[in-house]
Structure formats: structure tokens, C-alpha cells
Chain A
């Protein structure tokens, strides 16, 4: 039996038909919609490479059954930059060298966007490190990642205050 689900992905509404209910959100994005920015590291919830926003909240796409998220708004790394301008978290990762090989980076950036929206860590580096612990970086670019999230937090807070 095939199943149809409706998703808004990076702002665009899409109807997707699945011939098999076993598809995870991660495999749907990568294998069927060819949005390969979201990475598969462990496929078990242990590394964070697959982090996307589901209705604005960061989640591991590898442990999300696509069908269970029918109706959701999904944001992936491809949907962050607006009109050719990088998202403040993306810009901060570049400025602070928050990466080496780059494989974990889309997940790190999506996780940071989610963390900042949760507004629990603020500008405390210890809370930022703790809040980012679901994203493993094999290259250990952690120092740059923490600095980038700190700066992006400041930028986004200033932007919010001005708005």
C-alpha cells in the first residue's frame, strides 16, 4: 500500500508518495528529494550529522519516520540562506573556522540554529557546549564551533532587538 504525505520543505509545499513506510525523514530528503546537504553519519541518533528543523525544532532525521511527520515544516541546510545571503550561523561558522572536513557541518549549523531558538544557553560557552553535545565532530573543530555559536547568538539577539 502506498502512502501520501504533505511536507513543506524549505518553504515549498510538496506532496510525496511513498511505496514503503520504512523511509526515514533522512532517506526521504537525501535519496528521494536529492537534498544531500543533510548528512548520514551513524543512522542511529548518535552523531547529529542528520540534524534538521521540524516545525522549528532540531531533530535527528535518521530516527524520524517520514510518515509520522506528515504535515510538518522541514528546514534543511539548503533552506537557511535567504536571497543569496548566508544565515548568521553559517557566516559565523566560516568566520570562526567551525569546521575542518565539513562532514558534520550541516548538522552542526542546523543544531546551532535550533539551540539558539530554544533560548536556553544564552551566551554561556559551557551551556553552548552542553547544548551542542548531540553533534559529534570527528575533526574536533569544537573550539571554532563554540565561538561561532556564541557570535551567532549575539548577532541574532541584536537582530531580534532591532526588529
Chain B
């Protein structure tokens, strides 16, 4: 690991001025950053530890029922809070389907949104990677595309965004609150992550030195709480990144879909909101036909790995079907799993 200076500011202003200095990186839970520093993929010269900044480690409810979650709230605390899980069950399920109990205790909301791709060439400094070393080439092109993007990739980069949380946040119309040298600004989560295009090195809209201070969930997003699911296919039922995942949210009135939200994970370089599918579902009956058509629309134009595309369609339809059946009373024992507890007992 490259040597670095360590700074632990206690005020936001101080953190921002330290973070703006060249070579700086913010340290939150450290579960992604330290990992990449160990492989040599991340080589910051200064770590600005944001764990002691006041006020970022709590959440507050708005009078209208919206929720503002501080960037330093730990993934497990947000997921286990009964009120948060009741209002935004798909977010709780997405969080609990990710990583492990230990990691979720350390991982922060801001860090989860900012986490880097799990492309193994990115993590390995000896592989050519445009995202890590602009212009070096992309070792993933021509390799097996199963773990890579089938939507939104480019010749420069086909890495996927690995976060489960962000797939739920995209569907929920979450807003990212950002502090920087010029003051505060905000952006919708769906605009926050960038597609690679010709320059994949900047994967979010965060400018150097800017800091996420909170994520906001609008009150309207809680309107989907009765019909909400997050499903995740992975190579083992727990403690694995998504091969494909889907957040499905429905509002059903008089037997008809009044409003639908669908977002996919594991298939694109950013959490992928499927707006064409949502438009098809509005006013439709919540049945197998509607969901199959929506799933087709969601994967329209996908290319690179046929089996993965088929899986993604099936998972999207399955998530919509399960959402239509109703949100489970409690996050299932196997969060995000398509198995509902009927696994063989060892």
C-alpha cells in the first residue's frame, strides 16, 4: 500500500478544504477504499477521515413523510430501522441482500453510493483499464461478458455498478445532497452515476473535493410500500454481488397499475432505471402478460451476453410479479433471494 498522510477533521468546512487538496480521498467505512488501496488500484496521498464529522450519522423524517439519511449512517442501521423498512421496504431488502453482516456494520450510505466497480481488471493494477488509467485500454473487452454490462457500456469500459442499495434508490427517485467549496447542491441519484462513454475514469458527477452529505427519499416514494420487492440473482444465495438484480415498485388502484417503477442492477455501468417499461405498465393490469412486456422493454437494445439478458428479463418479470403480490410483512430470511426459505436444511 502506498504511504499516505492521515487527517481527521471534526468540522465539515475543514473536511472540504482538506478534501480539495490534490491526491486526497475521503475515508468513510473503508470497506471499498482500503480494499483497493491494498491491491494498488487506489493510491491516495492523503486520507481525509470523515467518520467524526458532526450530524452525518443520523437520519430525520420530514413532516411530509420524506426521509433524509446522513451519508455516514451505516448500511445495517438504515436497513434494520423498523420505520425505514416499513416506508421503503425495497431499500431495506436491497441493503440486507448486500455484502455481509460485518461489512454492513461498517459500510456507510455515502460510501455505498460511491463504491467502485468490482471489475477484477480494475482492481488489478497490472491489467490495462481505462477506468483506472485513462487511455490504457480495457482488458475486459473480448473476455467472457457474463459479469459485465449488457446495457450502457462502451468500447472504453463495460464494467457494472455493483451496488444493491443504488438500484433501490434509483427506483425510489432518491436525491443526493452534496457539499463542496461553492456550498450545497443536489442531484437525482439517477443522474449521479455516469455512463463510461469515451472517458470512464470519472464514474460519478462528484467533483474533486465534493462530499455527499445525505441521501433524500421523497415522501411519494413511500406510496409504493405495499408493493415493493428487491430481487437479486447471484452465484450463491448470500454474500455475493449481483449477477442481475431488480427493484420493482407498484401502486395498484382498483386492480390497475396506477404507477410503476423498475430499476435493474448488475446489467449496466450505473443503476439502470427502466422508464420505458414503467410507461408500459402505467394503466395496465398487474398480470403475467404486462410484466413480460415490461421486462422485454427494460432490456430493449441489450447486447453482449444472451443468457444474462434472458436472466435479467426473467428476474424483472419475477420482481414485478412478487411486488404485485404484496410486500412481505418482514424482509425475508434470505433478502433478495428468489428462494423463499425452502432451502434444504443441512
Which residues of chain A have a CB within 8 Å of any CB of chain B? 1, 3, 20-22, 24, 43-45, 48, 51, 57-60, 63-65, 67-68, 70, 111, 114-115, 118, 120, 124-127, 129-135, 142-143, 146
Contacts and interface: CB of A to CB of B under 8 A. Distances in A.
Which of B4, B8, B76, B105 counts the most chain A CB atoms within 10 A? Answer: B105
A120 to B, nearest CB: 6
A111 B30 contact: no
Nearest to A129: B238
Interface in B328-343: 333-335, 341, 343
B341 A126 contact: yes
Nearest to A25: B30
Given A68-B49, A130-B238, A22 B4 contact: yes
A114 B4 contact: no
B333 to A, nearest CB: 4
Contact of A48 (B35, B102, B333): B102
21 contacts: A3-B6, A21-B5, A22-B3, A44-B38, A48-B100, A48-B102, A58-B101, A58-B105, A60-B31, A63-B30, A63-B106, A65-B27, A67-B6, A111-B101, A118-B101, A124-B333, A127-B333, A134-B100, A135-B100, A142-B346, A143-B346
A134 B101 contact: yes
Contacts of B154: none
Given A21-B47, A65-B47, A67-B49, A131 B31 contact: no
A143 to B, nearest CB: 5
**A-B complex: 4 closest residue pairs judged by Cβ atoms:** A134-B100, A133-B238, A21-B6, A126-B333
B101 A114 contact: yes
A63 B27 contact: no
Nearest to B104: A134
Given A20-B3, A68-B27, A59 B343 contact: no
Nearest to A56: B105
A46 to B, nearest CB: 8
Interface residues of B, number: 34
Given A68-B30, A127-B333, 12 more contacts: A21-B5, A45-B102, A58-B105, A59-B102, A60-B102, A64-B34, A68-B27, A111-B101, A115-B101, A129-B238, A134-B102, A146-B346
B125 to A, nearest CB: 15
B1 interface: yes
Contact of A130 (B34, B103, B334, B346): B334
B76 to A, nearest CB: 8
A149 to B, nearest CB: 12
B80 interface: yes
Interface string B254-285: 00000000000000000000000000000000
Contacts of A3: 6
Interface string B76-100: 1000100000000000000000011
B35 to A, nearest CB: 6
Contacts of B105: 57-59, 114
A126 B341 CA distance: 7
Interface in B33-66: 34-35, 38, 47, 49, 51
Contacts of B31: 45, 60, 63
Nearest to B31: A63
